[in-house]
Amino acid sequence: MDYKLNLHFHIVAGQQEFQDLLNSTDVKAMYQKCVELSESTPLDTEGKLRGYCVVCEKVVEFSYGWLYSHMEKINFREHLLCPGCNLNNRQRGIANVVFKLLV
């Protein structure tokens, strides 16, 4: 499996474009994956998810759990941590944008 994805960033110009993005197949599939992982991860436990870290530039086992969540769904934005750089999903996303702007 190729874990190195070309992340897509969207510039949203208004409420309708934001709604359209939320209703897109890609975003719905991502949301469904988050729901499935949340449902299969008991409270107060952690899981692992293999993926590519753009900061470390290698495939890693990200860890996730219920920290920073409201106990309904895991907060993958704030708690999908890379074991190498220890950055969460949001921080790695920002780094990815900066890297793309510098290249």
Residues that bind Zn ion (CB under 5 A): 53, 55-56, 82, 84-85
The distance of closest approach from Cβ of residue 72 to Zn ion in the complex, given in angstroms and rounded to an integer, is: 27
Closer residue to Zn ion in complex, CB, 60/74: 60
Closer residue to Zn ion in complex, CB, 37/56: 56
Closer residue to Zn ion in complex, CB, 17/61: 61
The distance of closest approach from Cβ of residue 58 to Zn ion in the complex, given in angstroms and rounded to an integer, is: 8
What burial class does residue 64 get, using C-beta atoms within 10 Å of its C-beta: 0-12 exposed, 13-18 middle, 19+ buried?
buried
Handedness of CA 94, 95, 98, 103 (dihedral sign): negative
Closer residue to Zn ion in complex, CB, 65/84: 84
The distance of closest approach from Cβ of residue 96 to Zn ion in the complex, given in angstroms and rounded to an integer, is: 11
Q: Rg for the chain (alpha carbons), in Å?
A: 15
- Asked if residues 24 and 32 have their Cβ atoms less than 8 Å apart, the reply is no
The distance of closest approach from Cβ of residue 87 to Zn ion in the complex, given in angstroms and rounded to an integer, is: 6
Q: Return d(Cα 32, Cα 20) in angstroms, integer.
A: 17
